[in-house]
Amino acid sequence: MSTPSSSVSSVAKSNTIVIDDGKDESTQICKVAPARKLRSIVWEEFDKKKDEKGVDKAICIHCKENFDGKSTNGTSHLRSHLKRCSRRVKPGSG
């Protein structure tokens, strides 16, 4: 006879962590992990939002163009957009 071991699993597309003690569903504990801080300077010029399907999007605050905002994609594509964004007011110009 084996004893049930405790396991931890993450629920996809959320910060919820379910801790299962192996007994039954009524004893599961759900904890919400805090969202990570956005560290790149490009996030000062983009809004990070979820679309109607729950996919992360980065929206340029100057031209309102949508980009993939998934954390695993990095920020190089956002930085490149800022270099060529026609509606962005360049620092020192004007």
Sign (positive or negative) of CA dihedral 21, 22, 27, 28? positive
Please calculate the CA angle 55-60-62 and round it to the nearest 5 degrees.
155
- Give the SS3 label for residue 65: coil
d(CA 13, CA 56): 10
List, for residues 17-32, the tens digit of each pLDDT value: 656 656 666 666 666 7
- Give the SS3 label for residue 21: coil
Q: What is the pLDDT of residue 78?
A: 95
Q: pTM (2 decimals)?
A: 0.58
Pairing between β-strand 7-10 and β-strand 16-20 as defined by DSSP bridges: antiparallel
List, for residues 53-87, the tens digit of each pLDDT value: 999 999 999 999 999 998 888 999 999 999 999 99
For the chain, what are the domain ranges? 1-35, 41-84
